[in-house]
């Protein structure tokens, strides 16, 4: 089955609120990445966290990784309407070459 499962599948919040998305995976990873996809477009890389890291920040984004629970979370603080998109986690498996295995994705809608 697919490596990554994300929840929630869909999330609707008001502008200014924080959005948290979770990702779980099943096997050992080299790193985990988060991507954003606007409707009908390609993916944009947001942040990469390695298996030996626990937390990373980039602007309004905060990613955590718990390898013991095989899970990661993406927090977007002070959300904006422009953050409306689908967000995917993707893992590079240990010994899996450079292939990305994508999660199911979370559709985020930020309303004014």
The DSSP call for residue 83 is G
Cβ(97)–Cβ(33) below 8 Å:
no
Q: Is the dihedral of CA 93, 36, 60, 111 positive or negative?
A: negative
Cβ(20)–Cβ(6) below 8 Å:
no
Stretch of residues binding another protein (CB under 8 A), selected from 13-21, 28-36, 59-67, 75-83: 28-36
Omega prior to 8 cis, within 30 of 0:
yes
Q: Which is nearer to another protein, 71 or 101 (CB)?
A: 101
Site for another protein in 29-88 (CB under 8 A): 30-31, 33, 35, 40-45, 48, 50, 88
Q: Which is nearer to another protein, 32 or 110 (CB)?
A: 32
User: By the criterion CB under 8 A, which residues form the site for another protein?
Assistant: 2, 30-31, 33, 35, 40-45, 48, 50, 88, 92, 97-105, 107
């Amino acid at each position: 089955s697919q490596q990554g499962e994300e929840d929630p599948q869909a999330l609707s919040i008001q502008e200014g609120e924080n959005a948290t998305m979770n990702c779980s995976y099943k096997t050992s990873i080299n790193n985990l990445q988060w991507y954003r996809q606007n409707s009908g477009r390609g993916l944009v890389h947001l942040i990469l966290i390695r298996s030996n890291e626990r937390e990373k920040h980039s602007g309004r984004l905060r990613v955590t990784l718990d390898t013991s629970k095989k899970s990661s979370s993406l927090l977007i603080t002070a959300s904006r309407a422009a953050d409306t998109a689908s967000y995917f986690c993707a893992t590079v498996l240990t010994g899996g070459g450079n292939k990305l295995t994508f999660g199911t994705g979370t559709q985020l809608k930020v309303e004014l």
